[in-house]
Amino acid sequence: MLSPGKAVKVTIYLSEGTTHHGVPVYSRILDFLFYRGVAGATVTKGIAGFGADHHMHSSTMVEISDRLPLKIEFIDTREKVDSLLGKLEELAGTGLIEMQETTVAKPAQVSKPKKPVPPHHLKIEGKAQMMRIFLSEEDRWKNKPLHEALVEAMRANDIAGVTVYRGILGYGAHRRMHKDKPLLASHHGSVMLSAIDTAEKLRAFLPLVEQMVEEGLVVFSDVDIIKYAYRPIEATSQTGEASL
């Protein structure tokens, strides 16, 4: 594994169609580097270019599109590169090998599977408050449905949980009757958001609600928390249920 400090960057220029004992050269070189423990290597493909034969190759020229330039790059210690150079010259054939002194500022690290971290939830016991927000389904905030924006805002402000309910019958301040009509896919019904958390957190969130909700009803109720628990994320995503 590489360490910060002096190193050598090796670049090998090839033609895509060249082979070594019937195997593409870039594949043979990549296998060689892998099994010799090189820290990492990358193969990139050019879209146009020419080489020692001075023939222009371009991806737009179908007849020679399999002769496009390839580049293999890797970085390792001077000692490692010196031990590989002889075999690389053999495999590269007529290709070009370039070496440059470089400095590794931060070596790549092997990614390790992260241990699942249980979600952090505030434990609520005893007295709390319920905030209910009544809106029209057609209300919007910054080009998105207002109820969706409120849910996102509550999540961002660590409100314990919120559920959105869609009304099937009712009326509001304008005295218009709203009735759910599934076949017509109406978007003019009413929705209610219900959230429960501590009084301090809900009251702190209220100024944002007042800013986002231009026309609607917001009510608070005192509640007693009997039980507050959450299921693992996997179970919640499978059932698709919203819970506090």
Angstrom distance (rounded) from CA 218 to CA 188: 19
Query: Is the predicted pLDDT of residue 12 greater than 70, yes or no?
Result: yes
More confident call, 2 vs 127? 127
Neighbouring residues of 159: CB distance < 8 A, sequence distance ≥ 6: 195, 197, 201, 202, 205
Domain extents in the chain? 5-104, 126-239
Q: Provide the mean pLDDT of the chain.
A: 80
pLDDT in tens, 35-67: 898 988 999 987 765 655 556 555 554 444 556
- CATH number belonging to the domain at 5-104, selected among 3.30.70.120, 2.60.40.10, 3.30.1490.110, 3.40.50.300: 3.30.70.120
Rounded percentage of the chain residues whose pLDDT exceeds 70: 70
169 falls in which pLDDT band (50, 70, 90)?
confident
Question: What mean pLDDT is predicted for residues 216-243?
Answer: 64
DSSP string, 134-147: EEETT-EETTEEHH
Res 134 pLDDT > 90: yes
Q: What share of the chain in percent tops pLDDT 90?
A: 44
Query: Does 5-104 match 126-239 in CATH topology?
Result: yes
pLDDT at 117: 59
CATH fold of 126-239 reads Alpha-Beta Plaits (3.30.70)
pTM of full prediction above 0.75? no
pLDDT-wise least confident of 160-169, 200-209, 221-230: 221-230
Residue 181 CB contacts under 8 Å (≥ 6 apart), including other chains = none
- Per-residue pLDDT, averaged over 2-30, amounts to 89
Q: Determine the pLDDT at residue 176.
A: 63
Which of the two residues, 180 and 137, has the higher pLDDT score?
Answer: 137
Read off the pLDDT of each residue in 216-235 and give the average, rounded to a whole number: 73
Cα radius of gyration (the chain): 32
